[in-house]
Amino acid sequence: MTMKRSILVAAMTMTTLAGAAAQERTKFEFWYGLTGDLGEVVANHCKLFNESQTKYEAVCTGQGGYDKAEQNTIAAYRAKQQPTIVQIYDAGTLNFMLSGAIYKANQFDKDYGLNVDWKSYFPGIANYYATAGGEMWSFPYNSSTAVFYWNKDAWAKIGKNEAPKTWAEFADDLKALKAAGVECGFALDGDTWMNLEQFSATNNIPIATQDNGYGGLSAELVFNKTAYVDHMKNYKAWLDAGYARIQTTQVGKNLVQAFADGSCASTITSIANHGTVKNTQVPDLKWDVAMIPVLDAAKRTNSLVGGASLWVMQGKSKEEYEAAAAFLKYVTSPETGEKYIVKNTGYIPVTVKGFELLKSEGFYQDPKMAGREVAIASLTASAVGPNSRGIRLGNFTSIRSELRSELEAVFTGQKDVQAGLDAAVERGDQILRRYEQTYKGAALP
């Protein structure tokens, strides 16, 4: 055999072996809800995992949104075609806890040796996803909270160099900004996560009875009887006075765009949008983030976590679960998971270990990243209490939709504030009663 032929045979053999090795990989499905740039980050996380070893392969498929990820997974489970892992957002937590379709994360951890340090998760994150007994049934993956974005040059026009700490101070600032020639002091929309859930949590105000649903399925909505009513009346008054502006894609640009291009001097949105603002801002925009205002600065409580966690589904093979375990270990560890997510998005680390790792590497000293630690301060502003633990209400996505619809009617002058909130509570309670009937006799975990 000639040397040339020997080299050719060797190359063919190596190719054959490589192909066989690739075919021998144990595959499992991972469905995710994030879309756009954030969805690409998740897809690349899968790619990095696949490239990090040769034994397993994650087949990762975007579902076109959080809502669709939940709906598609439920339908797939009924057809026995469910993925091994699925990314489900915060509002879907109770639905999955009661579904009977999930492999509990803490048990999966024990069965497949992930050695998760559950105590390292920030309490504001862990408590949202944990059972009443503190057991974690899913793996927190991408987490955020709401923060106040403010234009420093706009506030300089009214002689201030700090963001407002209370809603009363913010109201005075908006009036002064208008007098100083700022056309739009505040961009807002009907998003309930920002203007109901975060407001209620940071001011220690209930959204529903039974500790916001953690106490049982008989919970009833109460946000039409709390300080939230006056808060929304203030929003409407600011709109009417020209201090604030509704910013949604329906009117041309959303509130993140309106802040980044300098059209509006402030907004409240997720810390996950920090990178988007930084990457899309007009060149001369000087801005920062702060914790959202509260009613009484001396009584601030922790804000709520947003984002999603990873759920393992029942009904898969041992081999698939072994592959899933390797994947979960990779994407949730501080070194290969949290650091990657935080550096490539606006999300925050979910564990103390992840936060300390990023700090030790100087992440928060980078001018492009400075301010993101405000979200951690907000989530840890107090010990987690009954009104700041989270929201555990059945079909909460539908309740959010009902409130958003009513708020849009209120903000556009079609309805009175109290009437709109009363209607949202009435329909929301109907959703809760149907949910309670569906799971009649079930005890919340």
Residue 78 lies in a domain: yes
The set of residues, in sequence order, having a beta carbon less than 8 Å from that of 96 and lying 6+ positions away, is: 70, 88, 102, 137, 138, 311
59 and 85 within one domain: yes
Residue 380 lies in a domain: no
As for how many domains the chain has, the answer is: 2
240 and 103 within one domain: no
150 and 99 within one domain: no
* Domain limits for position 76: 22-144+305-365
Reported as a single tens digit per residue, the pLDDT across 305-346 is 999 999 999 999 999 999 999 999 999 999 999 999 999 988
Extract the tokens encoding 298: 């001396």
Closest CA to 346 of 311, 381, 370: 370
Domain boundary among 365, 384, 405: 365
Residue 444 lies in a domain: no
Closest CA to 216 of 393, 431, 90, 399: 393
- Please give the single-letter amino acid code of residue 277: V
97 and 119 within one domain: yes
How many Cα atoms are found within 13 Å in the side-chain-facing hemisphere of 255?
Answer: 23
> Among 26-30, 193-197, 209-213, 363-367, where is mean pLDDT lowest?
363-367
Predicted TM-score (pTM) of this structure = 0.90
Cα dihedral: 47, 60, 36, 45 (round 10): -30
pLDDT, average across residues 249-267: 93
Residue 33 lies in a domain: yes
230 and 101 within one domain: no
Q: Is the pLDDT of residue 3 over 50?
A: no
151 and 133 within one domain: no
241 and 119 within one domain: no
Residue 389 lies in a domain: no
Reported as a single tens digit per residue, the pLDDT across 117-155 is 999 999 989 999 999 889 999 999 999 999 999 999 999
Residue 229 lies in a domain: yes
Domain containing 155 — which CATH number? 3.40.190.10
Task: Give me the chain's average pLDDT, please.
Answer: 93
- Between CA 140 and CA 149, with CA 145 as vertex, the angle to 5 degrees is 150
293 and 153 within one domain: yes
202 and 180 within one domain: yes
Reported as a single tens digit per residue, the pLDDT across 218-239 is 999 999 999 999 999 999 999 9
Domain boundary among 323, 348, 365: 365
